[in-house]
Amino acid sequence: MPETTFTNATQVLEAFKGIKKVTIEEYFTSGHRTCQGCESALVMKLMVKAAGPRTIVLGSTGCMYVANTTYYTTPWVVPWMHTQLGSSGAAALGTAAGLKALMRKGKMKSEPINVIAFCGDGGGADMGLNGISATLTHKEYNSLILLYDNESYANTDIQLSGLTPYGAHTTFSPPGSVKRLIHTRWKKNVAGMLAAGHTECRYVATVCASFAVEMMNKVRRALTIGGPTFIHSLDPCPKGWDYDPMLSHDLGELAIETGIFPLYEVDDGLLKYYGKTKAIVEGRKRKPVREYLLKQGRFAHFTEEDLAYFQAKVDEMWEKWEIPGVVPFKRLEAAKAALEVK
Amino acid sequence: MAVATKTAPAVAEDRELLISGSEAVAEALALADIDVVTAYPIRPYDTVMQAIAKKIANGQLVAEYIVAEGEHSQFEVVKHASTVGARVFCGSSGVGWAYAMECLVVTPPLRVPMVAMVGNRALDDPGAFGVEHNDALFVRDLGWMLVWIDSSQEALDTTLIGYRLAEDRRVFLPLAISADGAFLTHSQALTLVPPKAKVERFLPPYNRGDLLLHPDNPITVAPQANEDWVIEIRRQNNEAMARAVIVIEEAYADFRTIFGRGPENPWFEEYMTDDAEIILVGMGTISLPIKVGIRNMRAQGKKVGLVRLRWFRPFPTDRLVAALSKASVIGVIDRDYSFGSPFGSGVVANEIRAAMYNAPKRPPLVSFICGLGGREVTLEDVYKVTDLCYNAAKTGKSDTKTHWLGVRE
């Protein structure tokens, strides 16, 4: 049986030890037409730079499809293929399964090829969630699903998604004279949900391109560890968030420093906080959320009451959650206390 | 591709097995050495996935067998596996096929030569397991090739022919093989299963060529095109469908040479049509009661024949027109519906009306809808159809009404 020569190995991608050690080659180059200050385009560039040339990328519908690939021009140096809006999970699984089948049957030269499927917040956390969930249970297929979260359907005119923050102004949630807030749902906790619910998925992480080396190293870890893996990237979006494009990097930092978006990884079940999130866990004071929110036009209609509500919800995830910033169950002591009250 | 010129060598004889239509497809899939298959449960097509699972469990087939979390992912997974060079199989029934619709849409323009089985089933609501052809017909305009079969043998043979056809670089389009729910998916018949050596001579390996998605061939597939290029891409699909006509003829001819069986006319089966005054037309297993009815009516001197349409896409316009023009009256029996359509007819009747429009001789056409939701089509139904066709023969005019048979009025 040719199966015996097939190992299902992954590429071994060691972490870059500092910015000067990052490889110079680019696999996402000119040929796209993303906005000035687009952090998601930076995520694409860093993602595939971290992965290297022996990589196949699948891109589900969204701005990183439409703005990146226009017929007869492409920024992708590695093989790239479109997949449907809710299909990042299936695309990763199908590509990995096809390669595996052909290699184990001796129909294709056996070598580890990275498979990365990306999706936006709408394609990933709304429409494609069931497909991603399924793929994360297929432990025999190596792939990475990267969710680039610019917090709206940014390709179709900025409509709210399940990952749009509470109260944000989008074209589906305009503030009005009678109803100030249309969007009153709290953002889904995607990485925490996927890590907690898929016990054989060996790697789940959150990243922000403001911390580029850390972000690339998490991609490299996800591709090296084997099996299906997931990364959630928070990407400031000048068009959707309504701010000066020069602030993209700063807003990414502020999202971490305010504690709104924690940076962590769950590596073979071990939780590790990163950078400024780690400092928060170790006691550094979080910046007030207003410093982050009021730099963005999408929150310009917020009253003091709205800011206080937002702050209270963020406080809760650090002070009340069983695993701060990750798992939203109430702490055991709180649960016990609640039982005693009854 | 000149496989037909090779002579058949002395190899192991065919095995004869008592198997259902679904099991016959699974036999063909093992012979075709498929690489990736995705399953999701819905009756009645799921019997093929059960049969494949057994084959994989017993080592008769080495393939990635993925149970998806819904039909949408089910079809997307194999679509992507096909783009990296894997031979793939998928399938569904009824609303399951509808749930996959977005993925069915993208498969032809991506030129993915997937073979799928549709176990034809009524659409919800209300829930019904029985056969209707509306599920497979969803994709009739989209670049899927569509074929209807009526026996286990034809299920096996058409699956092998299907891969040869779909994976021909002149075509590179997906194919849906329709098998009537229960009547074929679950009904057993003696079926000849050929040895692998014969199949290898008929079916070359899948070669995706310069469309292969691989680091050695770093292409960008399906970038956003808009008005600049979309109409040219649609035109390419249309031309592939036109070329499929030639490839179907070739594939059936080679199949007959290598396997020693199979129809001379791939497109439709003609049953007692040579001298027929009335020619009935239908697709799938409805052929069985019609053939019995025809034999009985012929004993009474009524000259009735049947054209059982196999290929619906590409539609065999010229050959079908030639065959039907011989009749005094054409009676088309649809196991589907198209509410609000011209004359309220089913899909097949209106396709045939359109095909006959330029014909020099246009016999009157009478349209029927029956057997919906898997209701049995009885001999009485067949006799009634024939009587109504003879009425049209007397007047020499097409009936503008569509007759629903076996309905409680």
| CB atoms B62 and A105 under 8 Å | yes
For B224, the closest of A3, A70, A91 (CB atoms) is A70
| CB atoms A105 and B220 under 8 Å | no
Task: Collapse the DSSP code of A228 into the 3-class scheme (helix H, G, I; strand E, B; otherwise coil) and give the result.
Answer: strand
What is the rounded distance in angstroms from the CA atom of residue B185 to the CA atom of residue B9? 33
Chain A hits for B223, Cβ within 8 Å: 69-74, 82
pLDDT of residue A164: 98
Dihedral sign from CA coordinates of B370, B376, B382, B384: negative
Chain A, 99 to 138: residues with Cβ < 8 Å from chain B are: 99-102, 104-105, 107-108, 113, 130-131, 133-134, 138
* Six-digit token string for A301: 């209609």
Gap from A97 CA to chain B (nearest CA, Å): 6
pLDDT of residue A72: 84
| Sequential DSSP letters for A55-109 | EEEEEESSHHHHTT-BTTB--BSS-EEEE-TT-HHHHHHHHHHHHHHHHHTTSS-
* Six-digit token string for B389: 């066709």
pLDDT of residue B259: 97
What is the rounded distance in angstroms from the CA atom of residue B20 to the CA atom of residue B35? 23
| CB atoms A90 and B88 under 8 Å | no
Residue B50 Ramachandran class (φ > 0 left, ψ -120 to 50 alpha, else beta): alpha
What is the rounded distance in angstroms from the CA atom of residue B347 to the CA atom of residue B334? 7
Which chain A residue has the Cα nearest residue B78? A94
| CB atoms B62 and A66 under 8 Å | no
| CB atoms A94 and B62 under 8 Å | no
Interface test with B, best of A93, A108, A113, A138 (most B CBs within 10 A): A93
Say if B15-259 and B268-404 have the same CATH topology: yes
What is the rounded distance in angstroms from the CA atom of residue A15 to the CA atom of residue B162? 48
Which chain A residue has the Cα nearest residue B86? A98
The mean of the pLDDT values for chain A is: 95
Chain A hits for B38, Cβ within 8 Å: 94
Write down the pTM of the prediction: 0.95
**Continuous H helices in chain A:** 39-51, 63-66, 88-104, 121, 129-135, 190-197, 212-225, 238-241, 248-257, 275-281, 289-293, 304-319, 332-341
| CB atoms A98 and B72 under 8 Å | no
Which of A284, A266, A268 is CA-nearest to residue A276?
A284
What is the rounded distance in angstroms from the CA atom of residue A185 to the CA atom of residue A166? 6
Gap from A258 CA to chain B (nearest CA, Å): 37
Give the DSSP letter of residue A39: H
* Six-digit token string for B180: 């009537």
| Structural domains of chain A in order of their starting residue, each with its CATH number | 19-301 (3.40.50.970)
Chain A hits for B66, Cβ within 8 Å: 93, 97, 138
Gap from B87 CA to chain A (nearest CA, Å): 8
What is the rounded distance in angstroms from the CA atom of residue A47 to the CA atom of residue B254? 49
Gap from A84 CA to chain B (nearest CA, Å): 8
Which of A293, A297, A255 is CA-nearest to residue A169?
A297
Instruction: Answer for the pair A172, A182: CB distance below 8 angstroms, yes or no.
Output: yes
pLDDT, tens only, A138-191: 999 999 999 999 999 999 999 999 999 999 999 999 999 999 999 999 999 999
In this prediction, residue B12 has a pLDDT band, given cuts at 50, 70 and 90, of: low
Which of B33, B55, B25 is CA-nearest to residue B159?
B25
| CB atoms B223 and A69 under 8 Å | yes
Between chain A and chain B, how many beta carbons pairs sit less than 8 Å apart? 145
| CB atoms B86 and A98 under 8 Å | yes
Give the DSSP letter of residue B223: -
Interface test with B, best of A65, A84, A105 (most B CBs within 10 A): A84
Proportion of chain B above pLDDT 90, given as a percent:
95
Which chain B residue has the Cα nearest residue A67? B224
Instruction: Give the pairing of strands B304-309 and B268-271.
Output: antiparallel
pLDDT at B5 over 60: no
pLDDT of residue B10: 45
pLDDT, tens only, B109-148: 999 999 999 999 999 999 999 999 999 999 999 999 999 9
| CB atoms A97 and B79 under 8 Å | no
| CB atoms A105 and B77 under 8 Å | no
Question: If you classify domain B268-404 with CATH, what class do you get?
Answer: alpha beta
For B218, the closest of A71, A79, A83 (CB atoms) is A79
Instruction: Give the pairing of strands B115-120 and B88-92.
Output: parallel
Chain A, 2 to 31: residues with Cβ < 8 Å from chain B are: 3
- List per-residue pLDDT tens for chain A, 342 residues long: 444 578 899 999 999 999 999 999 999 999 899 999 999 999 999 999 999 999 999 999 999 999 999 888 899 999 999 999 999 999 999 999 999 999 999 999 999 999 999 999 999 999 999 999 999 999 999 999 999 999 999 999 999 999 999 999 999 999 999 999 999 999 999 999 999 999 999 999 999 999 999 999 999 999 999 999 999 999 999 999 999 999 999 999 999 999 999 999 999 999 999 999 999 999 999 999 999 999 999 999 999 999 999 999 999 999 999 999 999 998 777 667 766 765
Give the domain ranges of chain B: 15-259, 268-404
Chain A hits for B82, Cβ within 8 Å: 98
pLDDT at B7 over 60: no
Chain A hits for B102, Cβ within 8 Å: 84
Residue A82, chain B, CB below 8 Å: the answer is yes
Residue A308, chain B, CB below 8 Å: the answer is no
The domain B15-259 having CATH identifier 3.40.50.970: the answer here is yes
pLDDT, tens only, B57-101: 999 999 999 999 999 999 999 999 999 999 999 999 999 999 999
Gap from B326 CA to chain A (nearest CA, Å): 48
pLDDT, tens only, B255-294: 999 999 999 999 999 999 999 999 999 999 999 999 999 9
| CB atoms A95 and B213 under 8 Å | yes
